[in-house]
Structure 1
Amino acid sequence: MELDLDLARKVLDAQPFSRLLEARITAFADGVATLEIDIRDELRQQNGLVHGGVLAYAADNTLTFAAGTVAGANLVTAGFSIDYLKPALGETLRARAEVVRAGRTRVVCRCDISTVDGDGVETLCAVAQGSIAVASGG
Structure 2
Amino acid sequence: MNFEDARKGLESQPFSVLVGARLVAFGDGEAVIEIDARDDLRQQNGYLHGGVLAYAADNTLTFAAGSVLGPSLLTAGFTIDYVRPAGGNTLRAEARVVQSSGSRATCRCDVYSDGELCAVAQGTAVRRADKRE
TM bracket (short chain): over 0.9
Give, in whole Å, the separation in 1 of the partners of 2:24 and 2:130: 30
Corresponding position: 1:96 with 2:94 = yes
Aligned-partner SS, 1:65: helix
Corresponding position: 1:54 with 2:52 = yes
Corresponding position: 1:128 with 2:121 = yes
TM-score when normalising by structure 2: 0.96
Q: Give the fraction of aligned pairs with identical amino acids, expressed as a percent.
A: 59
TM-score when normalising by structure 1: 0.93
Q: Provide the residue aligned with 2:76 in structure 1.
A: 78
Match of 1:34 among 32, 35, 48: 32
Aligned-partner SS, 2:122: strand
- When the two chains are superposed, the root-mean-square deviation of aligned CA atoms in Å is 0.7
Q: Provide the residue aligned with 1:109 in structure 2.
A: 107
Task: Give aligned pairs, total.
Answer: 131
Following superposition, the deviation at residue 136 of structure 1 comes to 2.5
Contact kept in structure 1, 2:32 and 2:93, CA below 8 Å: yes
Give, in whole Å, the separation in 1 of the partners of 2:103 and 2:113: 32
Give, in whole Å, the separation in 2 of the partners of 1:89 and 1:124: 11
Greater mean deviation of Cα atoms: 78-87 or 99-108? 99-108
Following superposition, the deviation at residue 134 of structure 1 comes to 1.4
Give, in whole Å, the separation in 1 of the partners of 2:93 and 2:130: 30
Match of 2:42 among 26, 41, 44: 44
Q: Provide the residue aligned with 2:2 in structure 1.
A: 4
Deviation string 1:66-104 (CA, Å, 9 cap, x unpaired) is 000000011000000000000101110000000000111
Ranges in structure 1 where 5+ consecutive residues have no aligned partner: 117-121
Ranges in structure 2 where 5+ consecutive residues have no aligned partner: none
